[in-house]
Structure 1
Amino acid sequence: MANVPVFVCFKWGKGYPCKYTNILFRALTDLMAGPFRLICLTDDPDGLAEGIETQPIPPFKMDRGDWHKGMWPKLAAFAPGIVPDGTAVVMLDVDVVVLRDLTPLFDIIRKQGGLHIMQEVPDTLPRLFPKRFGKPLLSNSSIVGFVAGEQTHLYTGFADKTYDEVKSLRNDQNYIHHHAHDRNHWPLGWMLSFKKSLAYHFPVGLVRPIPRPDGYVVIFHGVPNPEDMTKGPFTRWGSKEKFGYFPVRWIKDYWQKYSRDTDR
Protein backbone atom coordinates (compact mmCIF):
# COMPACT_ATOMS: atom_id res chain seq x y z
CA MET A 1 0.00 0.00 0.00
CA ALA A 2 2.97 2.35 0.49
CA ASN A 3 3.31 2.65 -3.29
CA VAL A 4 -0.28 3.87 -3.73
CA PRO A 5 -0.30 7.68 -3.76
CA VAL A 6 -2.24 9.25 -0.92
CA PHE A 7 -4.00 12.59 -0.84
CA VAL A 8 -4.80 14.07 2.56
CA CYS A 9 -7.37 16.81 3.04
CA PHE A 10 -9.24 18.36 5.95
CA LYS A 11 -12.86 19.04 6.83
CA TRP A 12 -13.66 20.85 10.07
CA GLY A 13 -15.93 23.67 11.04
CA LYS A 14 -18.43 25.26 8.64
CA GLY A 15 -16.15 26.95 6.12
CA TYR A 16 -16.21 24.27 3.40
CA PRO A 17 -19.13 21.83 3.42
CA CYS A 18 -18.94 18.22 2.26
CA LYS A 19 -19.52 19.08 -1.38
CA TYR A 20 -16.04 20.58 -1.66
CA THR A 21 -14.39 17.34 -0.52
CA ASN A 22 -16.75 15.24 -2.65
CA ILE A 23 -16.06 17.30 -5.77
CA LEU A 24 -12.32 17.02 -5.16
CA PHE A 25 -12.60 13.23 -4.81
CA ARG A 26 -14.62 12.84 -8.01
CA ALA A 27 -12.19 15.03 -9.94
CA LEU A 28 -9.24 12.96 -8.75
CA THR A 29 -11.11 9.75 -9.60
CA ASP A 30 -11.66 11.04 -13.12
CA LEU A 31 -8.20 12.50 -13.72
CA MET A 32 -5.72 10.24 -11.93
CA ALA A 33 -4.16 7.62 -14.19
CA GLY A 34 -3.93 4.97 -11.49
CA PRO A 35 -5.25 4.05 -8.05
CA PHE A 36 -4.98 6.49 -5.16
CA ARG A 37 -6.39 7.08 -1.69
CA LEU A 38 -8.04 10.23 -0.40
CA ILE A 39 -7.95 10.47 3.38
CA CYS A 40 -10.03 13.22 4.94
CA LEU A 41 -9.00 14.19 8.46
CA THR A 42 -12.23 15.41 9.95
CA ASP A 43 -14.30 15.96 13.06
CA ASP A 44 -17.52 15.16 11.15
CA PRO A 45 -17.47 12.55 8.33
CA ASP A 46 -21.23 12.68 7.73
CA GLY A 47 -22.07 13.42 4.09
CA LEU A 48 -18.71 12.53 2.57
CA ALA A 49 -18.90 10.47 -0.62
CA GLU A 50 -18.34 6.74 -0.64
CA GLY A 51 -14.69 5.98 -1.33
CA ILE A 52 -13.31 8.84 0.75
CA GLU A 53 -11.44 7.42 3.73
CA THR A 54 -11.86 9.29 7.00
CA GLN A 55 -9.73 9.56 10.11
CA PRO A 56 -10.09 11.82 13.14
CA ILE A 57 -7.85 14.87 13.20
CA PRO A 58 -4.77 13.97 15.27
CA PRO A 59 -4.95 15.81 18.60
CA PHE A 60 -3.05 18.98 19.43
CA LYS A 61 -3.18 21.45 22.29
CA MET A 62 -4.31 24.65 20.55
CA ASP A 63 -7.78 25.85 21.54
CA ARG A 64 -10.43 25.19 18.92
CA GLY A 65 -11.25 28.88 18.72
CA ASP A 66 -7.75 29.59 17.41
CA TRP A 67 -7.61 26.96 14.68
CA HIS A 68 -8.78 29.31 11.92
CA LYS A 69 -6.10 31.92 12.68
CA GLY A 70 -3.82 30.41 10.09
CA MET A 71 -5.41 26.98 9.43
CA TRP A 72 -3.22 25.35 12.07
CA PRO A 73 -4.90 21.91 11.86
CA LYS A 74 -2.99 21.32 8.61
CA LEU A 75 0.09 20.54 10.70
CA ALA A 76 -1.74 17.42 11.93
CA ALA A 77 -1.22 15.91 8.45
CA PHE A 78 2.38 15.24 9.46
CA ALA A 79 1.39 13.15 12.50
CA PRO A 80 2.79 9.62 12.52
CA GLY A 81 0.47 6.72 11.79
CA ILE A 82 -1.90 8.28 9.26
CA VAL A 83 -0.30 6.22 6.48
CA PRO A 84 2.67 3.83 6.50
CA ASP A 85 6.11 5.44 6.58
CA GLY A 86 7.58 5.79 3.11
CA THR A 87 4.24 6.61 1.46
CA ALA A 88 4.21 9.57 -0.92
CA VAL A 89 1.60 12.04 0.34
CA VAL A 90 0.07 15.18 -1.12
CA MET A 91 -1.86 17.37 1.31
CA LEU A 92 -4.41 19.25 -0.74
CA ASP A 93 -6.89 22.01 0.07
CA VAL A 94 -10.46 21.10 -0.88
CA ASP A 95 -11.15 24.50 -2.53
CA VAL A 96 -9.00 23.84 -5.59
CA VAL A 97 -9.59 23.04 -9.25
CA VAL A 98 -7.59 20.04 -10.43
CA LEU A 99 -6.62 20.46 -14.08
CA ARG A 100 -5.01 17.11 -14.91
CA ASP A 101 -3.48 13.87 -13.63
CA LEU A 102 -1.39 14.64 -10.53
CA THR A 103 0.88 11.59 -10.79
CA PRO A 104 3.92 13.82 -11.60
CA LEU A 105 3.62 15.37 -8.13
CA PHE A 106 4.11 11.96 -6.55
CA ASP A 107 6.94 11.15 -8.97
CA ILE A 108 8.91 14.19 -7.82
CA ILE A 109 8.26 13.39 -4.15
CA ARG A 110 9.54 9.83 -4.55
CA LYS A 111 12.54 10.92 -6.63
CA GLN A 112 13.71 13.84 -4.50
CA GLY A 113 12.32 13.21 -1.02
CA GLY A 114 12.07 16.21 1.29
CA LEU A 115 9.05 18.48 1.43
CA HIS A 116 7.51 20.16 -1.61
CA ILE A 117 5.37 23.26 -1.22
CA MET A 118 4.19 26.14 -3.39
CA GLN A 119 6.22 29.30 -3.37
CA GLU A 120 4.13 32.23 -2.21
CA VAL A 121 2.52 33.93 -5.21
CA PRO A 122 3.28 37.66 -5.39
CA ASP A 123 0.59 40.26 -5.97
CA THR A 124 0.52 42.18 -9.24
CA LEU A 125 2.72 45.14 -8.28
CA PRO A 126 5.51 43.04 -6.72
CA ARG A 127 5.40 40.75 -9.75
CA LEU A 128 5.67 43.62 -12.24
CA PHE A 129 8.01 45.84 -10.21
CA PRO A 130 9.97 43.51 -7.91
CA LYS A 131 12.72 46.00 -7.13
CA ARG A 132 10.28 48.55 -5.76
CA PHE A 133 7.45 46.48 -4.32
CA GLY A 134 8.99 43.03 -3.92
CA LYS A 135 9.51 41.20 -0.66
CA PRO A 136 10.96 37.80 0.24
CA LEU A 137 8.57 35.08 -0.89
CA LEU A 138 7.73 32.39 1.66
CA SER A 139 5.41 29.44 0.97
CA ASN A 140 1.75 28.63 0.38
CA SER A 141 0.43 25.43 1.96
CA SER A 142 -2.47 24.78 -0.42
CA ILE A 143 -0.55 21.83 -1.91
CA VAL A 144 2.19 20.15 0.12
CA GLY A 145 4.02 16.96 -0.82
CA PHE A 146 6.14 14.81 1.48
CA VAL A 147 7.15 11.27 2.35
CA ALA A 148 5.29 9.94 5.37
CA GLY A 149 7.59 9.59 8.35
CA GLU A 150 10.11 12.19 7.18
CA GLN A 151 8.40 15.35 8.48
CA THR A 152 6.75 14.19 11.71
CA HIS A 153 8.60 16.91 13.64
CA LEU A 154 6.23 19.45 12.04
CA TYR A 155 3.45 17.83 14.08
CA THR A 156 5.29 16.82 17.23
CA GLY A 157 6.94 20.22 17.60
CA PHE A 158 3.57 21.92 17.29
CA ALA A 159 1.15 19.57 19.02
CA ASP A 160 1.92 20.77 22.57
CA LYS A 161 1.93 24.49 21.71
CA THR A 162 -0.74 27.08 22.42
CA TYR A 163 -1.66 29.69 19.86
CA ASP A 164 0.31 32.32 21.77
CA GLU A 165 3.43 30.17 21.42
CA VAL A 166 3.26 29.99 17.62
CA LYS A 167 1.38 33.14 16.60
CA SER A 168 4.61 34.99 15.79
CA LEU A 169 4.78 32.83 12.64
CA ARG A 170 1.26 34.02 11.71
CA ASN A 171 0.03 30.79 10.09
CA ASP A 172 0.62 27.14 9.31
CA GLN A 173 2.38 27.77 6.00
CA ASN A 174 5.01 29.99 7.58
CA TYR A 175 5.53 27.33 10.23
CA ILE A 176 6.10 24.72 7.50
CA HIS A 177 8.34 27.09 5.52
CA HIS A 178 10.67 27.68 8.45
CA HIS A 179 10.66 24.21 10.03
CA ALA A 180 10.43 21.65 7.22
CA HIS A 181 13.40 19.40 6.50
CA ASP A 182 14.80 19.74 2.96
CA ARG A 183 12.11 22.17 1.78
CA ASN A 184 11.65 22.55 -1.98
CA HIS A 185 9.21 24.61 -4.01
CA TRP A 186 7.13 22.95 -6.69
CA PRO A 187 8.22 23.88 -10.22
CA LEU A 188 6.90 27.27 -11.29
CA GLY A 189 3.67 26.99 -13.26
CA TRP A 190 2.56 23.68 -11.77
CA MET A 191 0.21 25.44 -9.34
CA LEU A 192 -1.51 28.74 -10.01
CA SER A 193 -3.40 31.15 -7.80
CA PHE A 194 -6.71 32.19 -9.30
CA LYS A 195 -6.70 35.50 -7.46
CA LYS A 196 -3.07 36.42 -8.05
CA SER A 197 -2.16 34.60 -11.28
CA LEU A 198 -5.33 34.50 -13.37
CA ALA A 199 -7.98 37.05 -12.37
CA TYR A 200 -7.87 40.43 -14.10
CA HIS A 201 -7.90 43.85 -12.53
CA PHE A 202 -10.90 46.12 -13.03
CA PRO A 203 -12.06 46.97 -15.68
CA VAL A 204 -10.40 44.24 -17.79
CA GLY A 205 -12.20 41.53 -15.83
CA LEU A 206 -15.56 42.86 -16.97
CA VAL A 207 -14.91 42.17 -20.65
CA ARG A 208 -12.14 39.59 -20.97
CA PRO A 209 -12.86 35.90 -20.22
CA ILE A 210 -10.34 34.12 -18.00
CA PRO A 211 -8.92 31.20 -20.02
CA ARG A 212 -8.33 27.76 -18.55
CA PRO A 213 -4.62 27.67 -17.70
CA ASP A 214 -1.96 25.04 -18.14
CA GLY A 215 -0.50 23.51 -15.03
CA TYR A 216 -1.81 20.99 -12.54
CA VAL A 217 -3.90 22.77 -9.93
CA VAL A 218 -5.52 26.18 -9.46
CA ILE A 219 -5.69 27.28 -5.83
CA PHE A 220 -8.09 29.73 -4.20
CA HIS A 221 -7.29 31.81 -1.15
CA GLY A 222 -9.29 34.66 0.30
CA VAL A 223 -12.01 35.56 -2.21
CA PRO A 224 -13.41 34.33 -4.50
CA ASN A 225 -14.09 30.67 -3.80
CA PRO A 226 -14.52 28.46 -6.90
CA GLU A 227 -18.23 28.05 -6.28
CA ASP A 228 -18.67 31.84 -6.47
CA MET A 229 -17.90 31.74 -10.19
CA THR A 230 -20.50 29.12 -11.05
CA LYS A 231 -23.53 31.33 -10.45
CA GLY A 232 -25.75 32.97 -13.05
CA PRO A 233 -24.87 36.16 -14.94
CA PHE A 234 -24.73 39.49 -13.09
CA THR A 235 -23.72 37.78 -9.84
CA ARG A 236 -20.66 39.61 -8.57
CA TRP A 237 -17.63 37.62 -7.45
CA GLY A 238 -14.12 38.58 -6.42
CA SER A 239 -12.24 41.19 -4.42
CA LYS A 240 -12.33 44.99 -4.62
CA GLU A 241 -9.66 45.07 -7.33
CA LYS A 242 -10.31 41.85 -9.24
CA PHE A 243 -13.91 40.85 -9.86
CA GLY A 244 -16.46 39.83 -12.44
CA TYR A 245 -20.19 39.46 -13.00
CA PHE A 246 -20.32 36.32 -15.14
CA PRO A 247 -19.43 32.66 -14.55
CA VAL A 248 -15.92 31.50 -15.37
CA ARG A 249 -16.74 28.80 -17.87
CA TRP A 250 -14.05 26.22 -17.09
CA ILE A 251 -14.66 26.52 -13.34
CA LYS A 252 -18.42 26.21 -13.79
CA ASP A 253 -17.96 23.17 -16.05
CA TYR A 254 -15.70 21.53 -13.44
CA TRP A 255 -18.13 22.24 -10.62
CA GLN A 256 -21.13 20.93 -12.53
CA LYS A 257 -19.31 17.83 -13.77
CA TYR A 258 -18.24 16.66 -10.33
CA SER A 259 -21.10 17.80 -8.10
CA ARG A 260 -24.21 15.80 -7.20
CA ASP A 261 -27.64 16.88 -6.02
CA THR A 262 -27.05 14.97 -2.79
CA ASP A 263 -23.99 17.03 -1.87
CA ARG A 264 -24.43 19.51 0.90
Structure 2
Amino acid sequence: MFKKAQDDNNIKQIICIKWGTKYGADYANKLYGMVSRNITPPFRFVCFTDDTTDVRPEIECQELPPLDVTMPTNTLGKWPKSRLWGEKLGDLTGIVLFLDLDVIIVDSLDPFFEYGKPDDVVLSYNPSNPLERLGQTSCFRFQVGTLVSLQEKFKADPQGVADKYRFEQRFVTRNVPGGVKIFPKSWVAHFRRKSRQPFPLNYFKKPKIPKGSRIIIFPGDLYPSHALEGKYNKNAANNAKDHLKRIIEPKNIKRPIRHLRHFILPVDWIEEYWKE
Protein backbone atom coordinates (compact mmCIF):
# COMPACT_ATOMS: atom_id res chain seq x y z
CA MET A 1 0.00 0.00 0.00
CA PHE A 2 1.17 3.56 -0.59
CA LYS A 3 -1.51 5.67 1.10
CA LYS A 4 1.02 8.04 2.66
CA ALA A 5 2.69 8.69 -0.69
CA GLN A 6 -0.68 9.37 -2.28
CA ASP A 7 -1.58 11.75 0.55
CA ASP A 8 1.67 13.59 -0.12
CA ASN A 9 0.60 14.07 -3.74
CA ASN A 10 -2.62 15.44 -2.21
CA ILE A 11 -4.95 14.73 -5.11
CA LYS A 12 -6.37 11.72 -6.90
CA GLN A 13 -6.42 12.07 -10.67
CA ILE A 14 -9.09 10.34 -12.78
CA ILE A 15 -8.88 10.49 -16.56
CA CYS A 16 -11.04 9.36 -19.46
CA ILE A 17 -10.94 9.81 -23.22
CA LYS A 18 -13.85 10.69 -25.53
CA TRP A 19 -13.48 10.93 -29.29
CA GLY A 20 -15.86 10.74 -32.21
CA THR A 21 -19.60 10.15 -31.78
CA LYS A 22 -19.80 6.72 -30.13
CA TYR A 23 -20.29 8.20 -26.66
CA GLY A 24 -22.09 11.46 -25.98
CA ALA A 25 -21.42 13.98 -23.24
CA ASP A 26 -23.91 12.15 -21.01
CA TYR A 27 -21.42 9.30 -20.59
CA ALA A 28 -18.70 11.66 -19.37
CA ASN A 29 -21.19 13.49 -17.16
CA LYS A 30 -22.44 10.29 -15.54
CA LEU A 31 -18.91 9.02 -15.06
CA TYR A 32 -18.01 12.22 -13.23
CA GLY A 33 -21.10 11.88 -11.05
CA MET A 34 -20.20 8.31 -10.09
CA VAL A 35 -16.58 9.24 -9.39
CA SER A 36 -17.58 12.19 -7.19
CA ARG A 37 -19.84 9.96 -5.10
CA ASN A 38 -17.25 7.23 -4.68
CA ILE A 39 -13.95 8.95 -3.94
CA THR A 40 -12.45 10.78 -1.00
CA PRO A 41 -11.56 14.35 -2.09
CA PRO A 42 -9.56 16.10 -3.30
CA PHE A 43 -9.61 14.79 -6.84
CA ARG A 44 -9.30 15.92 -10.46
CA PHE A 45 -11.41 14.56 -13.29
CA VAL A 46 -9.92 15.19 -16.72
CA CYS A 47 -11.58 14.23 -19.99
CA PHE A 48 -9.42 14.26 -23.10
CA THR A 49 -11.82 14.97 -25.94
CA ASP A 50 -12.38 16.45 -29.38
CA ASP A 51 -15.85 17.74 -28.45
CA THR A 52 -16.73 19.55 -25.22
CA THR A 53 -20.38 20.17 -26.15
CA ASP A 54 -22.71 19.68 -23.16
CA VAL A 55 -19.95 18.38 -20.88
CA ARG A 56 -20.67 19.44 -17.30
CA PRO A 57 -18.49 22.31 -16.01
CA GLU A 58 -16.93 20.29 -13.17
CA ILE A 59 -15.08 18.20 -15.75
CA GLU A 60 -11.68 19.49 -16.89
CA CYS A 61 -11.73 19.08 -20.66
CA GLN A 62 -8.36 18.97 -22.39
CA GLU A 63 -7.45 18.36 -26.02
CA LEU A 64 -6.77 14.83 -27.19
CA PRO A 65 -3.06 14.12 -26.72
CA PRO A 66 -1.35 14.36 -30.12
CA LEU A 67 -0.41 11.14 -31.92
CA ASP A 68 0.46 11.38 -35.60
CA VAL A 69 -0.33 7.86 -36.79
CA THR A 70 -2.94 6.15 -38.91
CA MET A 71 -5.02 4.05 -36.57
CA PRO A 72 -5.27 0.32 -37.42
CA THR A 73 -8.22 -0.92 -39.47
CA ASN A 74 -10.00 -4.27 -39.69
CA THR A 75 -9.01 -5.22 -36.16
CA LEU A 76 -11.20 -6.16 -33.22
CA GLY A 77 -9.33 -3.93 -30.81
CA LYS A 78 -9.68 -0.17 -30.40
CA TRP A 79 -6.39 1.73 -30.29
CA PRO A 80 -6.98 5.47 -29.61
CA LYS A 81 -6.04 4.95 -25.93
CA SER A 82 -2.49 4.86 -27.27
CA ARG A 83 -2.69 8.66 -27.15
CA LEU A 84 -2.38 8.39 -23.37
CA TRP A 85 1.02 6.70 -23.46
CA GLY A 86 3.12 9.73 -24.36
CA GLU A 87 5.75 11.57 -22.36
CA LYS A 88 3.21 14.31 -21.65
CA LEU A 89 -0.47 14.03 -20.86
CA GLY A 90 -2.03 17.47 -20.98
CA ASP A 91 -0.97 19.30 -17.84
CA LEU A 92 -1.06 16.16 -15.69
CA THR A 93 1.89 14.66 -13.87
CA GLY A 94 2.18 11.76 -11.45
CA ILE A 95 -0.30 8.96 -10.95
CA VAL A 96 -3.54 8.77 -12.95
CA LEU A 97 -6.40 6.25 -12.92
CA PHE A 98 -7.96 5.74 -16.33
CA LEU A 99 -11.63 4.71 -16.62
CA ASP A 100 -13.60 3.82 -19.74
CA LEU A 101 -16.61 6.06 -20.28
CA ASP A 102 -19.10 3.19 -20.05
CA VAL A 103 -18.14 1.73 -16.67
CA ILE A 104 -20.46 1.73 -13.68
CA ILE A 105 -18.95 2.55 -10.28
CA VAL A 106 -20.63 0.83 -7.33
CA ASP A 107 -18.11 1.32 -4.50
CA SER A 108 -15.16 3.44 -3.40
CA LEU A 109 -12.33 4.13 -5.82
CA ASP A 110 -9.86 4.99 -3.06
CA PRO A 111 -8.26 1.50 -2.95
CA PHE A 112 -7.24 1.83 -6.61
CA PHE A 113 -4.89 4.61 -5.54
CA GLU A 114 -3.50 2.66 -2.57
CA TYR A 115 -2.79 -0.70 -4.20
CA GLY A 116 0.79 -1.73 -4.95
CA LYS A 117 3.67 0.71 -5.37
CA PRO A 118 3.48 4.25 -6.78
CA ASP A 119 5.41 3.37 -9.93
CA ASP A 120 3.43 0.19 -10.71
CA VAL A 121 1.38 -0.04 -13.88
CA VAL A 122 -1.76 -1.77 -12.64
CA LEU A 123 -4.48 -3.19 -14.89
CA SER A 124 -7.80 -4.75 -13.99
CA TYR A 125 -8.14 -8.51 -14.41
CA ASN A 126 -9.36 -9.76 -17.77
CA PRO A 127 -11.42 -12.98 -17.41
CA SER A 128 -11.84 -13.55 -21.15
CA ASN A 129 -8.76 -15.77 -21.40
CA PRO A 130 -8.35 -17.46 -17.98
CA LEU A 131 -5.29 -19.44 -19.12
CA GLU A 132 -3.57 -16.22 -20.19
CA ARG A 133 -2.45 -13.65 -17.64
CA LEU A 134 -4.14 -10.77 -19.37
CA GLY A 135 -4.99 -7.32 -18.11
CA GLN A 136 -7.98 -5.17 -18.99
CA THR A 137 -7.55 -1.44 -19.66
CA SER A 138 -11.13 -0.41 -18.96
CA CYS A 139 -9.63 0.54 -15.60
CA PHE A 140 -5.89 0.93 -15.19
CA ARG A 141 -3.39 3.05 -13.26
CA PHE A 142 -0.04 4.41 -14.36
CA GLN A 143 2.37 7.28 -13.92
CA VAL A 144 2.34 9.87 -16.67
CA GLY A 145 5.30 9.37 -18.99
CA THR A 146 6.12 5.77 -18.01
CA LEU A 147 4.48 4.21 -21.09
CA VAL A 148 6.47 6.08 -23.73
CA SER A 149 8.15 2.88 -24.94
CA LEU A 150 4.71 1.42 -25.71
CA GLN A 151 3.78 4.45 -27.76
CA GLU A 152 7.06 4.31 -29.68
CA LYS A 153 6.54 0.62 -30.54
CA PHE A 154 2.99 1.34 -31.64
CA LYS A 155 3.97 4.39 -33.72
CA ALA A 156 6.61 2.37 -35.54
CA ASP A 157 4.02 -0.04 -36.98
CA PRO A 158 0.43 0.56 -35.82
CA GLN A 159 -1.18 -1.97 -38.13
CA GLY A 160 1.47 -4.60 -37.45
CA VAL A 161 1.05 -4.20 -33.67
CA ALA A 162 -2.73 -4.47 -33.97
CA ASP A 163 -2.48 -7.53 -36.19
CA LYS A 164 -0.09 -9.25 -33.79
CA TYR A 165 -1.80 -8.45 -30.49
CA ARG A 166 -5.38 -7.93 -31.74
CA PHE A 167 -6.40 -6.06 -28.57
CA GLU A 168 -4.77 -2.99 -27.05
CA GLN A 169 -4.90 -4.49 -23.53
CA ARG A 170 -2.85 -7.51 -24.68
CA PHE A 171 -0.22 -5.18 -26.13
CA VAL A 172 -0.08 -3.23 -22.85
CA THR A 173 0.07 -6.38 -20.72
CA ARG A 174 2.92 -7.85 -22.76
CA ASN A 175 5.04 -4.74 -23.28
CA VAL A 176 5.03 -2.55 -20.16
CA PRO A 177 8.65 -2.24 -18.97
CA GLY A 178 9.05 -4.40 -15.88
CA GLY A 179 5.64 -5.98 -16.35
CA VAL A 180 2.20 -5.08 -15.09
CA LYS A 181 0.42 -5.70 -11.81
CA ILE A 182 -3.24 -6.73 -11.62
CA PHE A 183 -5.83 -5.26 -9.27
CA PRO A 184 -7.66 -7.84 -7.10
CA LYS A 185 -9.94 -9.81 -9.41
CA SER A 186 -13.16 -8.96 -7.58
CA TRP A 187 -12.69 -5.17 -7.80
CA VAL A 188 -13.48 -4.84 -11.51
CA ALA A 189 -16.25 -7.11 -12.76
CA HIS A 190 -16.97 -7.90 -16.42
CA PHE A 191 -20.75 -7.46 -16.83
CA ARG A 192 -21.34 -10.25 -19.34
CA ARG A 193 -19.13 -12.73 -17.48
CA LYS A 194 -19.81 -11.87 -13.84
CA SER A 195 -23.11 -9.98 -13.61
CA ARG A 196 -25.50 -11.67 -16.01
CA GLN A 197 -27.08 -14.94 -15.00
CA PRO A 198 -26.14 -18.21 -16.74
CA PHE A 199 -28.66 -19.95 -18.99
CA PRO A 200 -31.47 -20.72 -18.18
CA LEU A 201 -31.48 -18.49 -15.08
CA ASN A 202 -31.02 -15.44 -17.30
CA TYR A 203 -34.74 -15.70 -18.19
CA PHE A 204 -35.83 -15.61 -14.54
CA LYS A 205 -33.18 -13.72 -12.55
CA LYS A 206 -31.76 -10.27 -13.18
CA PRO A 207 -28.02 -9.60 -13.55
CA LYS A 208 -26.37 -9.00 -10.20
CA ILE A 209 -23.69 -6.78 -8.70
CA PRO A 210 -20.89 -9.29 -8.03
CA LYS A 211 -19.69 -9.54 -4.45
CA GLY A 212 -16.66 -7.36 -3.76
CA SER A 213 -16.92 -5.40 -7.01
CA ARG A 214 -16.18 -1.69 -7.15
CA ILE A 215 -16.50 -1.16 -10.89
CA ILE A 216 -18.61 -2.97 -13.50
CA ILE A 217 -17.15 -2.83 -17.02
CA PHE A 218 -18.99 -3.28 -20.31
CA PRO A 219 -16.56 -4.48 -23.01
CA GLY A 220 -17.95 -5.25 -26.44
CA ASP A 221 -21.25 -4.00 -27.82
CA LEU A 222 -23.34 -4.31 -24.65
CA TYR A 223 -23.59 -0.84 -23.08
CA PRO A 224 -25.15 0.18 -19.75
CA SER A 225 -28.00 1.80 -21.68
CA HIS A 226 -28.79 -1.57 -23.31
CA ALA A 227 -28.61 -3.50 -20.04
CA LEU A 228 -30.92 -0.98 -18.40
CA GLU A 229 -33.56 -1.88 -21.00
CA GLY A 230 -32.93 -5.62 -20.85
CA LYS A 231 -31.19 -5.77 -24.25
CA TYR A 232 -28.01 -7.71 -24.96
CA ASN A 233 -27.01 -5.12 -27.58
CA LYS A 234 -28.65 -2.33 -29.56
CA ASN A 235 -30.37 -4.74 -31.97
CA ALA A 236 -31.51 -7.29 -29.38
CA ALA A 237 -35.07 -7.87 -28.19
CA ASN A 238 -35.95 -6.47 -24.78
CA ASN A 239 -38.28 -9.31 -23.78
CA ALA A 240 -38.04 -13.10 -23.64
CA LYS A 241 -40.86 -13.77 -26.11
CA ASP A 242 -39.34 -11.76 -28.96
CA HIS A 243 -35.85 -13.00 -28.14
CA LEU A 244 -36.94 -16.64 -28.37
CA LYS A 245 -38.68 -16.00 -31.69
CA ARG A 246 -35.37 -14.91 -33.21
CA ILE A 247 -33.81 -18.32 -32.66
CA ILE A 248 -34.97 -19.34 -36.14
CA GLU A 249 -32.94 -16.59 -37.82
CA PRO A 250 -30.04 -18.02 -39.89
CA LYS A 251 -27.32 -16.55 -37.67
CA ASN A 252 -28.97 -17.99 -34.55
CA ILE A 253 -30.21 -21.38 -35.69
CA LYS A 254 -26.61 -22.46 -36.28
CA ARG A 255 -25.71 -21.56 -32.68
CA PRO A 256 -28.96 -21.85 -30.70
CA ILE A 257 -27.38 -22.16 -27.25
CA ARG A 258 -25.38 -19.00 -27.82
CA HIS A 259 -28.56 -17.17 -28.75
CA LEU A 260 -30.40 -18.48 -25.69
CA ARG A 261 -27.54 -17.32 -23.46
CA HIS A 262 -27.63 -13.84 -24.95
CA PHE A 263 -30.69 -12.64 -23.10
CA ILE A 264 -30.89 -10.49 -19.99
CA LEU A 265 -33.71 -9.06 -17.94
CA PRO A 266 -33.79 -5.28 -17.37
CA VAL A 267 -31.11 -4.28 -14.87
CA ASP A 268 -32.77 -1.88 -12.46
CA TRP A 269 -29.70 -1.26 -10.28
CA ILE A 270 -27.98 0.47 -13.21
CA GLU A 271 -30.34 3.42 -12.82
CA GLU A 272 -29.37 3.68 -9.15
CA TYR A 273 -25.66 4.06 -9.89
CA TRP A 274 -25.35 5.26 -13.50
CA LYS A 275 -26.44 8.89 -13.15
CA GLU A 276 -25.06 12.38 -12.92
TM-score bracket relative to the smaller structure: 0.7 to 0.9
Q: Partners of 2:162 and 2:48 in 1: how far apart?
A: 22
Query: In structure 2, which of residues 181, 184, 192 is the aligned counterpart of residue 184 of structure 1?
Result: 181
Map 1:90-239; keep pairs closer than 5 Å: 90-108=97-115, 111-122=117-128, 135-182=131-178, 183-213=180-210, 214-231=212-229, 235-236=238-239
Counterparts of 1:92 and 1:160 in 2: how far apart (Å)?
Answer: 26
Kindly state the Cα deviation for residue 66 of structure 1 after the two structures are TM-superposed: 3.4
> Structure 1, residues 125-158: CA drift from partner, whole Å, max 9, x if none?
xxxxxxxxx6324221111111223222222332
Give runs of aligned pairs for residues 32-43 of structure 1, distance below 5 A.
32-43=39-50
Q: Distance in 1 between matches of 2:103 and 2:72?
A: 25
Cα deviations by residue, 1:47-80 (Å, 9 ceiling, x for unpaired)? 2111111222222243257397522111211222
Matching residue of 1:262: none
Counterparts in 2 of 1:112 and 1:59: CA distance versus 1, 3 Å = closer
* Mapping for residues 10-29 of structure 1, pairs under 5 Å: 10-29=17-36
Q: In the alignment, what sits opposite 1:252?
A: 271
Note the aligned Cα RMSD (angstroms): 2.7
Displacement, 1:25? Answer: 0.4
Summarize the alignment of residues 70-109 of structure 1 with structure 2, pairs less than 5 Å apart: 70-82=77-89, 83-85=91-93, 87-108=94-115
Secondary structure of 2:122's counterpart equals: strand
Q: What SS does the aligned partner of 2:154 have?
A: coil
One-letter amino acid of the structure 2 residue matched with residue 252 of structure 1: E
Spell out, residue by residue over 1:25-54, the C-alpha distance to the aligned partner (whole angstroms, 9 max, x if none).
011112211121111111212221111112
TM-score (norm 1): 0.82
Check conservation: 1:88, 1:147, Cα contact below 8 A: yes
Contact 2:165 2:171 in 1 (8 A): yes
Contact between 2:12 and 2:44, CA under 8 Å: does it hold in 1? yes
Aligned to 2:181, the other structure's residue is in SS state strand
Structure 2: tracts of 5 or more residues without a match: 1-7, 232-236, 244-257
8 Å Cα contact 1:92-1:144 kept in structure 2: yes
From the superposition, tell whether residues 67 and 146 of structure 1 become closer, same or farther in structure 2 (CA, over 3 Å): farther
**TM-score where L is the length of structure 2:** 0.78
Contact 2:188–2:213 (8 Å) recurs in 1: yes
Work out whether residues 229 and 267 of structure 2, in 8 Å CA contact, stay in contact via their aligned partners in 1: no
Larger radius of gyration: 2
Spell out the pairing of 1:28-67 with structure 2 (5 A cutoff). Answer: 28-64=35-71, 66=73
**Conserved? CA contact 2:78–2:168, under 8 Å:** yes
Gaps of 5+ in 1: 124-133, 260-264
CA deviations over 1:97-118 (Å, ceiling 9, x no partner) = 1011201101125x35221002
Identity, % of aligned pairs? 25
| SS of structure 2 residue aligned to 1:174 | helix
Q: What's the secondary structure of 2:56's corresponding residue? A: coil
Most deviating of 92-101 and 161-170: 161-170
Letter in 2 for 1:74: K
Distance in 1, Cα, partners of 2:108 & 2:125: 21
Q: Answer whether contact 2:154 2:161 (CA < 8 A) is retained.
A: no
